[in-house]
Chains A and B, each alone.
Chain A
Protein backbone atom coordinates (compact mmCIF):
# COMPACT_ATOMS: atom_id res chain seq x y z
CA UNK A 1 0.00 0.00 0.00
CA UNK A 2 2.98 2.29 -0.19
CA UNK A 3 2.48 3.19 -3.84
CA UNK A 4 1.15 6.70 -3.48
CA UNK A 5 2.73 7.62 -0.18
CA UNK A 6 6.20 8.06 -1.60
CA UNK A 7 5.14 11.09 -3.61
CA UNK A 8 2.55 12.83 -1.44
CA UNK A 9 4.94 13.89 1.30
CA UNK A 10 6.86 15.98 -1.19
CA UNK A 11 3.87 18.28 -1.51
CA UNK A 12 3.62 18.46 2.25
CA UNK A 13 7.26 19.38 2.64
CA UNK A 14 7.09 21.91 -0.18
CA UNK A 15 3.98 23.44 1.38
CA UNK A 16 5.72 23.80 4.73
CA UNK A 17 8.70 25.56 3.14
CA UNK A 18 6.63 27.91 1.01
CA UNK A 19 4.26 28.76 3.84
CA UNK A 20 7.14 29.42 6.20
CA UNK A 21 8.51 31.89 3.66
CA UNK A 22 5.14 33.51 3.16
CA UNK A 23 4.62 33.74 6.91
CA UNK A 24 7.97 35.42 7.41
CA UNK A 25 7.37 37.88 4.59
CA UNK A 26 3.83 38.65 5.62
CA UNK A 27 4.39 38.97 9.35
CA UNK A 28 7.88 40.39 9.55
CA UNK A 29 9.20 41.86 6.34
CA UNK A 30 6.29 43.67 4.72
CA UNK A 31 5.45 47.01 6.34
CA UNK A 32 2.07 47.49 8.04
CA UNK A 33 -0.78 48.92 6.03
CA UNK A 34 -1.09 52.70 6.10
CA UNK A 35 -4.83 52.63 6.85
CA UNK A 36 -5.46 49.42 8.79
CA UNK A 37 -2.19 48.99 10.60
CA UNK A 38 -0.82 45.62 11.61
CA UNK A 39 -4.11 43.72 11.54
CA UNK A 40 -4.14 43.94 7.79
CA UNK A 41 -1.62 41.07 7.95
CA UNK A 42 -4.52 38.73 8.61
CA UNK A 43 -5.40 39.24 4.94
CA UNK A 44 -2.25 37.35 3.93
CA UNK A 45 -3.95 34.30 5.34
CA UNK A 46 -7.59 35.11 4.71
CA UNK A 47 -7.43 35.83 0.99
CA UNK A 48 -5.25 32.87 -0.08
CA UNK A 49 -7.49 30.67 2.04
CA UNK A 50 -10.69 31.54 0.20
CA UNK A 51 -8.99 31.33 -3.19
CA UNK A 52 -7.74 27.84 -2.32
CA UNK A 53 -11.27 26.94 -1.24
CA UNK A 54 -12.58 28.02 -4.64
CA UNK A 55 -9.87 25.95 -6.26
CA UNK A 56 -11.01 22.97 -4.21
CA UNK A 57 -14.65 23.45 -5.16
CA UNK A 58 -13.76 23.79 -8.83
CA UNK A 59 -12.07 20.41 -8.56
CA UNK A 60 -15.23 19.03 -6.94
CA UNK A 61 -17.27 20.37 -9.87
CA UNK A 62 -15.03 18.87 -12.53
CA UNK A 63 -14.62 15.48 -10.90
CA UNK A 64 -18.36 15.28 -10.24
CA UNK A 65 -19.09 15.75 -13.93
CA UNK A 66 -16.41 13.20 -14.79
CA UNK A 67 -17.88 10.74 -12.32
CA UNK A 68 -21.40 11.01 -13.74
CA UNK A 69 -19.97 10.61 -17.21
CA UNK A 70 -17.42 7.83 -16.72
CA UNK A 71 -18.74 6.23 -13.51
CA UNK A 72 -15.17 5.72 -12.33
CA UNK A 73 -15.16 5.73 -8.54
CA UNK A 74 -11.77 7.40 -8.52
CA UNK A 75 -13.41 10.61 -9.72
CA UNK A 76 -15.88 10.37 -6.90
CA UNK A 77 -13.03 9.87 -4.43
CA UNK A 78 -11.48 13.11 -5.65
CA UNK A 79 -14.82 14.91 -5.42
CA UNK A 80 -15.60 14.04 -1.82
CA UNK A 81 -12.00 14.57 -0.73
CA UNK A 82 -11.74 17.96 -2.37
CA UNK A 83 -15.08 18.98 -0.87
CA UNK A 84 -13.96 18.07 2.63
CA UNK A 85 -10.76 20.08 2.28
CA UNK A 86 -12.66 22.92 0.65
CA UNK A 87 -14.97 23.09 3.65
CA UNK A 88 -11.89 23.20 5.89
CA UNK A 89 -10.43 26.16 4.00
CA UNK A 90 -13.79 27.91 3.88
CA UNK A 91 -14.07 27.52 7.64
CA UNK A 92 -10.64 29.05 8.06
CA UNK A 93 -11.65 31.90 5.76
CA UNK A 94 -14.75 32.52 7.87
CA UNK A 95 -12.83 32.44 11.15
CA UNK A 96 -10.07 34.75 9.95
CA UNK A 97 -12.65 37.03 8.36
CA UNK A 98 -14.56 37.30 11.63
CA UNK A 99 -11.37 38.00 13.57
CA UNK A 100 -10.36 40.69 11.09
CA UNK A 101 -13.87 42.11 11.31
CA UNK A 102 -13.62 42.26 15.08
CA UNK A 103 -10.50 44.40 14.86
CA UNK A 104 -11.84 46.62 12.11
CA UNK A 105 -15.52 47.02 12.92
CA UNK A 106 -15.55 45.93 16.53
CA UNK A 107 -18.04 43.13 15.97
CA UNK A 108 -17.52 39.41 15.39
CA UNK A 109 -20.18 39.23 12.71
CA UNK A 110 -21.67 41.60 10.20
CA UNK A 111 -23.81 40.98 7.14
CA UNK A 112 -21.08 42.25 4.92
CA UNK A 113 -21.12 40.87 1.38
CA UNK A 114 -17.98 38.79 1.65
CA UNK A 115 -18.65 37.26 5.04
CA UNK A 116 -22.19 36.43 4.02
CA UNK A 117 -21.07 34.82 0.77
CA UNK A 118 -18.44 32.77 2.57
CA UNK A 119 -21.02 31.61 5.09
CA UNK A 120 -23.39 30.57 2.28
CA UNK A 121 -20.58 28.74 0.50
CA UNK A 122 -19.73 26.92 3.72
CA UNK A 123 -23.35 25.86 4.21
CA UNK A 124 -23.70 24.61 0.65
CA UNK A 125 -20.74 22.27 0.87
CA UNK A 126 -21.41 21.13 4.41
CA UNK A 127 -24.81 20.21 3.00
CA UNK A 128 -23.01 18.28 0.26
CA UNK A 129 -21.07 16.26 2.84
CA UNK A 130 -24.20 15.63 4.87
CA UNK A 131 -26.16 14.55 1.80
CA UNK A 132 -23.51 11.97 1.00
CA UNK A 133 -23.34 10.59 4.49
CA UNK A 134 -27.13 10.31 4.82
CA UNK A 135 -27.65 8.53 1.51
CA UNK A 136 -28.90 4.98 1.73
CA UNK A 137 -25.79 3.55 0.09
CA UNK A 138 -22.44 4.89 -1.07
CA UNK A 139 -23.30 4.62 -4.78
CA UNK A 140 -26.41 6.74 -4.30
CA UNK A 141 -24.39 9.13 -2.16
CA UNK A 142 -21.86 9.54 -4.94
CA UNK A 143 -24.59 10.19 -7.52
CA UNK A 144 -26.58 12.66 -5.41
CA UNK A 145 -23.38 14.36 -4.35
CA UNK A 146 -22.27 14.80 -7.93
CA UNK A 147 -25.60 16.37 -8.90
CA UNK A 148 -25.53 18.69 -5.89
CA UNK A 149 -21.93 19.66 -6.60
CA UNK A 150 -22.81 20.66 -10.15
CA UNK A 151 -25.85 22.68 -9.04
CA UNK A 152 -23.94 24.28 -6.18
CA UNK A 153 -21.04 25.38 -8.34
CA UNK A 154 -23.32 26.97 -10.94
CA UNK A 155 -25.08 28.71 -8.10
CA UNK A 156 -21.96 30.44 -6.76
CA UNK A 157 -21.76 33.30 -9.32
CA UNK A 158 -25.51 33.91 -8.93
CA UNK A 159 -25.04 34.13 -5.17
CA UNK A 160 -22.19 36.59 -5.66
CA UNK A 161 -24.29 38.91 -7.74
CA UNK A 162 -27.30 38.74 -5.46
CA UNK A 163 -25.42 39.36 -2.22
CA UNK A 164 -23.25 42.12 -3.63
CA UNK A 165 -26.19 43.99 -5.11
CA UNK A 166 -27.99 43.56 -1.80
CA UNK A 167 -25.18 45.16 0.17
CA UNK A 168 -24.02 47.88 -2.17
CA UNK A 169 -27.49 49.22 -2.74
CA UNK A 170 -27.93 49.73 0.96
CA UNK A 171 -24.63 51.09 2.09
CA UNK A 172 -21.56 52.49 0.46
CA UNK A 173 -19.06 49.81 -0.38
CA UNK A 174 -16.67 49.64 2.51
CA UNK A 175 -12.96 49.51 2.25
CA UNK A 176 -12.79 45.77 2.45
CA UNK A 177 -10.13 45.07 -0.03
CA UNK A 178 -6.90 43.81 1.44
CA UNK A 179 -4.66 46.75 1.98
CA UNK A 180 -7.26 49.39 1.20
CA UNK A 181 -8.69 50.47 -2.11
CA UNK A 182 -5.58 49.60 -4.00
CA UNK A 183 -3.17 46.84 -3.20
CA UNK A 184 0.42 48.01 -2.91
CA UNK A 185 2.62 45.81 -5.04
CA UNK A 186 4.81 44.77 -2.10
CA UNK A 187 1.73 43.29 -0.46
CA UNK A 188 1.01 41.10 -3.44
CA UNK A 189 4.13 39.05 -2.71
CA UNK A 190 3.10 37.38 0.56
CA UNK A 191 -0.42 36.98 -0.87
CA UNK A 192 0.90 35.10 -3.88
CA UNK A 193 3.38 33.04 -1.89
CA UNK A 194 0.80 32.03 0.68
CA UNK A 195 -1.61 31.08 -2.08
CA UNK A 196 1.08 28.89 -3.63
CA UNK A 197 1.81 27.38 -0.21
CA UNK A 198 -1.84 26.70 0.56
CA UNK A 199 -2.34 25.17 -2.88
CA UNK A 200 0.56 22.82 -2.23
CA UNK A 201 -0.94 21.99 1.16
CA UNK A 202 -4.31 21.39 -0.51
CA UNK A 203 -2.66 19.02 -2.98
CA UNK A 204 -0.95 17.12 -0.18
CA UNK A 205 -4.17 16.82 1.85
CA UNK A 206 -6.08 15.83 -1.29
CA UNK A 207 -3.67 13.03 -2.18
CA UNK A 208 -3.84 11.60 1.33
CA UNK A 209 -7.61 11.94 1.57
CA UNK A 210 -8.11 10.28 -1.81
CA UNK A 211 -5.89 7.44 -0.65
CA UNK A 212 -8.14 7.00 2.39
CA UNK A 213 -11.19 6.90 0.12
CA UNK A 214 -9.57 4.34 -2.18
CA UNK A 215 -8.74 2.11 0.79
CA UNK A 216 -12.37 2.31 1.85
CA UNK A 217 -13.47 1.39 -1.67
CA UNK A 218 -11.24 -1.65 -1.62
CA UNK A 219 -12.51 -2.69 1.80
CA UNK A 220 -16.08 -2.43 0.51
CA UNK A 221 -15.16 -4.58 -2.48
CA UNK A 222 -13.60 -7.24 -0.26
CA UNK A 223 -16.66 -7.28 1.97
CA UNK A 224 -18.90 -7.60 -1.05
CA UNK A 225 -16.92 -10.55 -2.40
CA UNK A 226 -16.91 -12.25 0.96
CA UNK A 227 -20.64 -11.74 1.23
CA UNK A 228 -21.17 -13.52 -2.06
CA UNK A 229 -18.89 -16.40 -1.19
CA UNK A 230 -20.26 -16.86 2.31
Chain B
Protein backbone atom coordinates (compact mmCIF):
# COMPACT_ATOMS: atom_id res chain seq x y z
CA UNK B 1 0.00 0.00 0.00
CA UNK B 2 1.50 3.31 -1.01
CA UNK B 3 1.52 6.47 1.05
CA UNK B 4 -1.78 7.65 -0.32
CA UNK B 5 -3.28 4.26 0.42
CA UNK B 6 -2.48 4.65 4.08
CA UNK B 7 -3.68 8.23 4.08
CA UNK B 8 -6.94 7.08 2.54
CA UNK B 9 -7.20 4.32 5.12
CA UNK B 10 -6.70 6.74 8.00
CA UNK B 11 -9.19 9.33 6.77
CA UNK B 12 -11.56 6.58 5.69
CA UNK B 13 -11.58 4.89 9.09
CA UNK B 14 -12.19 8.24 10.78
CA UNK B 15 -15.03 9.13 8.44
CA UNK B 16 -16.71 5.77 8.85
CA UNK B 17 -16.41 6.05 12.63
CA UNK B 18 -17.77 9.58 12.85
CA UNK B 19 -20.55 9.21 10.30
CA UNK B 20 -21.41 5.79 11.65
CA UNK B 21 -21.73 7.15 15.16
CA UNK B 22 -23.91 10.01 13.92
CA UNK B 23 -26.11 7.62 11.98
CA UNK B 24 -26.51 5.29 14.95
CA UNK B 25 -27.20 8.25 17.20
CA UNK B 26 -29.99 9.44 14.94
CA UNK B 27 -31.43 5.94 15.04
CA UNK B 28 -31.26 5.84 18.83
CA UNK B 29 -32.94 9.25 19.00
CA UNK B 30 -35.77 8.12 16.77
CA UNK B 31 -36.28 5.00 18.86
CA UNK B 32 -36.25 6.88 22.15
CA UNK B 33 -38.67 9.51 20.85
CA UNK B 34 -41.10 6.84 19.66
CA UNK B 35 -40.84 5.07 22.98
CA UNK B 36 -41.53 8.24 24.92
CA UNK B 37 -44.48 9.14 22.71
CA UNK B 38 -45.94 5.66 23.23
CA UNK B 39 -45.44 5.92 26.99
CA UNK B 40 -47.07 9.33 27.19
CA UNK B 41 -49.99 8.21 25.06
CA UNK B 42 -50.65 5.17 27.24
CA UNK B 43 -50.11 7.11 30.43
CA UNK B 44 -52.66 9.69 29.38
CA UNK B 45 -55.23 7.03 28.55
CA UNK B 46 -54.74 5.15 31.77
CA UNK B 47 -54.92 8.25 33.87
CA UNK B 48 -58.50 8.99 32.80
Contact = CB atoms under 8 A, between A and B. Distances in A.
Given A92-B18, A95-B13, A205-B25, A230 B46 contact: yes
Given A92-B18, A211-B29, A39 B7 contact: yes
Interface in A145-202: 201
A226 B46 contact: yes
Contacts of A216: 32
A103 B10 CA distance: 11
B14 A45 contact: yes
Interface in A212-230: 212, 215-216, 218-219, 222-223, 225-226, 229-230
Chain A interface size, as a band, is 35 or more
Contacts of B10: 42, 45-46, 95-96, 99-100
A27 interface: yes
A42 B8 CA distance: 9
Interface of B: 3-4, 6-7, 9-11, 13-14, 17-18, 21-22, 25-26, 28-29, 32-33, 35-36, 39-40, 42-43, 46-47
